[in-house]
Amino acid sequence: MVEINDLDTLASALSKLQDDSPAVWGKMSPQNMIEHISSIVLFSNGRKSIPLLYPEEKAAAFKAYLIDSDNQFPMNFRAPLIGEEPQPYRFESLDAAKAVLFKELHNYTAYHAENKEAILMHPTLGLLDQREWTIFHNKHFTHHFKQFNLI
């Protein structure tokens, strides 16, 4: 399981990810994947907000399935934020995308150190506190790291 608070281990795993690293499943390239997980971190570090995209009952059920259990992401799960095809790149390179990911993870730690009671919206799970966001990120990163055989 990936631990987002262990930045050294994250960096070590991500050092294996290259532009031509093949995906085990899905259409994302390595850079698409890094940009995707980085964009989700933005919702948890106070830098970007998003409305709930599921009905509250569905979000509560998905939250119970993912956060309040040992369940992992299904292999080909498609979030409503993701279309059929990968998004265009936002950064000039994979290395630049990795650097932004680590910057946003630092922002996550700093934001929650200063806002211990913060509860922020996840687009498919509803409102999450820091403990819940950390569980989510650990499972989300693990899902995508497995997608590229990084763990």
User: What is the distance between the alpha carbons of residues 97 and 31, in angstroms, rounded to a whole number?
Assistant: 7
Contacts of 8 (CB under 8 A, 6+ apart): none
Give the model confidence (pLDDT) of 37-52 as tens digits.
999 999 999 999 999 9
Q: How confident is the model at residue 81 (pLDDT cuts 50, 70, 90)?
A: confident
User: What is the distance between the alpha carbons of residues 147 and 38, in angstroms, rounded to a whole number?
Assistant: 16
What is the structure's pLDDT at 126? Answer: 97
The pTM for the full model equals: 0.94
What is the structure's pLDDT at 75? Answer: 77
